[in-house]
Structure 1
Amino acid sequence: MIPLDDTPRVHVRAPGKINLFLEVGQVMDDGYHELATAFQAVSLYEDVWASESDDFTVAVHGAVDTSGVPLDERNLALRAAQLVARATEQSGGVHLEIRKGVPVAGGMGGGSADAAAAIVACDALWGTGLSTSQMHAIAARLGADVPFALQGGTAVGTGRGDELSPALARGRFEWVFVADAGGLSTPQVYTELDRHRERHRVDIAPAVRHPLVDPDVLHALRAGDPVRLAAVLRNDLQVAALNLRPELADLLELGERAGALAGIVSGSGPTVAFLCADSAAALDVRVALSATGHEALHAHGPVPGARVIPG
């Protein structure tokens, strides 16, 4: 049942993310790869409104293409709401309205941000008083990026990426994002990475057992220095994304020629992120990319994680 217009609603906003560094290790016994990553939450947001309902339903709209977003049990936000209800023995349902501002299937954690927002929204709507650790436990059941969308800021992730440690980041980092017309499946990209490593096993070193974030990444963040950070950006999934979408290599080159300090595929892609020296440089890069027909978005980080928006 869709709630009436005068039904009380809770509004929660959660950020998308960029992987500043992503080292992909060996496959663990559970079938997942061990990871070491440095996350930064950025100012492209997912907005979720939760209102009481007889059932669990979701509606999706937004400034980005939402045609690929599922509205059934595959929707992470819907699954998050159901997990909160079961954990708190809540008898009713919830209707979620999602306004998306993060590119869909673009490697920026938009679905994970929806799930994090749904956890916070349902807890506030139902007054269930979940602790931070309880929310984190629910989030971890939904995927590696969901706990970070709850926390926000900048953090190091290990294990599957869901074991988080806050990282100090001074200042503000300016980014320009270009979303590709079609998404990439995260499992597809990991599978291609495994195939790439197998094809080139004679030429490249084997995957490490216990990946680590490069200390130079953390030093650059603490210094608030985008030039130093640009020199150490890394994403092991980038080679797989480029194998699947070779045209992304041209886009990376285009952004760097336009003045970006560095470009990197965001997460599993195909969104490409360009780190810029300051907001003026980011505007120049965004204008240059837009002039070539790309939809470019300017954002900054770090920003807070999922939080209730008053009123």
Structure 2
Amino acid sequence: MSLVADLPGVRVRAPGKINVFLAVGGRHDDGYHELATAFQAVSLYEDVYATHADDFTITVTGTVDLTGVPQDDSNLALKAARLLAAETGYRGGVHLDIRKEVPVAGGMGGGSADAAAALVACDALWGTGLGSAQLQALGARLGADVPFSVMGGTAIGTGRGDALNPALARGRFHWVVVPNADGMSTPRTYAELDEARGDAEVPDPAVPVEVLQALRSGDARQLAEALHNDLQAPALRLRPDLREILELGEAQGALAGIVSGSGPTIAFLVENRADGTALESRMAMAGYDAVCVYGPVHGARLV
């Protein structure tokens, strides 16, 4: 048995994400949509502590509202651990202690980050020795955002969002994230988009060159002009209150705001850290929770 496998426990940290661009194509027969997206991993993290156990168990704590987070076999992180064990022939179990910072059901991929962290943690704890590419492939079987949570950084996603290509992003982009206590259902947001489109023909989605150029330049103002999310309009129809947050943040100094993924979290792009701190304070004075984050950051890794 390897030295790593003899460790009493390991800790892995995985980031939340912001979709700086998201185009949604037509709906497939399996219910999924063709996507073209630009992911950026940001400095809002999930920590997973994995320890040896005879069975597969989980506890969840955190700084965010945990309502709706399963603490049984339906939890995505526990599914990830079981999948890795089944694929590698590992006969033991694991206890996962998850500590959450990413808003729940907020469009920032918190559950996917948990699953990615669980894959990396169990791989280290059990000494199964899979590489990042193999863990990403397993992650794709759990959810479309899981492979990116393993990879981190900045990437272009196609297919269901799980076919990834790293994208060059210079420097650091600063964001102010405004979560919302009332989570949103991703399937419901997609259904609202489909309903609005009706029978209209939807072109194949693609990430425009302007987005890639903005990321490569490291210019926040250029990126602000390129932000886009096809799910934003349906999210705002389902939750009109989010429009007030978007308008307030932009009026208070953000370069641009965007609904993160399927919502309801709002992400505001700012020019620098000082502007982020100022906007965070102004949003707090208006009664909203807000937190400054930056990206890109690493994917799931041992700490």
Per-residue CA distance 1:40-81 (angstroms, 9 max, x = gap): 000000000000111111100011111220012221100000
8 Å Cα contact 2:132-2:151 kept in structure 1:
no
Match of 1:207 in 2: 202
Give the Å deviation of 1:171. 0.5
Consecutive unaligned residues of structure 1, counting only runs of 5 or more, are: 1-6
Give the Å deviation of 1:27. 1.1
Aligned equivalents of 2:233, 2:74: Cα separation in 1: 28
Deviating more after overlay: 71-80 vs 150-159: 71-80
Give runs of aligned pairs for residues 66-85 of structure 1, distance below 5 A: 66-85=66-85
Q: CA RMSD in A?
A: 1.0
Match of 1:65 in 2: 65
Aligned equivalents of 1:131, 1:67: Cα separation in 2: 34
Aligned equivalents of 2:38, 2:172: Cα separation in 1: 16
Deviating more after overlay: 84-93 vs 35-44: 84-93
Give the Å deviation of 1:164. 0.2
Q: What is the TM-score when the length of structure 1 is the normalising length?
A: 0.94
Aligned equivalents of 2:136, 2:275: Cα separation in 1: 37
8 Å Cα contact 2:256-2:268 kept in structure 1:
yes
Match of 2:148 in 1: 148
Give runs of aligned pairs for residues 1-311 of structure 1, distance below 5 A: 8-198=8-198, 206-208=201-203, 210-309=204-303
Give the Å deviation of 1:8. 1.1
Give the Å deviation of 1:120. 0.3
Aligned equivalents of 1:90, 1:232: Cα separation in 2: 46
Give the Å deviation of 1:181. 1.4
Match of 1:4 in 2: none
Aligned equivalents of 1:56, 1:223: Cα separation in 2: 45
Equivalent position SS for 1:227: helix
Aligned equivalents of 1:32, 1:64: Cα separation in 2: 29
Give the Å deviation of 1:157. 0.1
What is the number of equivalent residue pairs in this alignment? 297
Consecutive unaligned residues of structure 2, counting only runs of 5 or more, are: 1-6
8 Å Cα contact 2:235-2:262 kept in structure 1:
yes
8 Å Cα contact 2:113-2:146 kept in structure 1:
yes
8 Å Cα contact 2:14-2:116 kept in structure 1:
yes
Aligned equivalents of 1:277, 1:222: Cα separation in 2: 16
Aligned equivalents of 1:299, 1:28: Cα separation in 2: 35
Equivalent position SS for 2:112: helix
Partner AA of 1:255 in structure 2: G
Aligned equivalents of 1:172, 1:148: Cα separation in 2: 18
Equivalent position SS for 1:49: strand
Partner AA of 1:153 in structure 2: G
Aligned equivalents of 1:38, 1:89: Cα separation in 2: 35
Equivalent position SS for 1:270: coil
Give the Å deviation of 1:306. 0.2
Equivalent position SS for 1:61: strand
8 Å Cα contact 2:10-2:125 kept in structure 1:
yes
Aligned equivalents of 1:134, 1:206: Cα separation in 2: 36
Match of 2:4 in 1: none
Aligned equivalents of 1:10, 1:161: Cα separation in 2: 29
Per-residue CA distance 1:257-294 (angstroms, 9 max, x = gap): 11000000000000000000111111111000000110
Give aligned-pair identity as a percent: 63
8 Å Cα contact 2:132-2:150 kept in structure 1:
no
Equivalent position SS for 1:177: strand
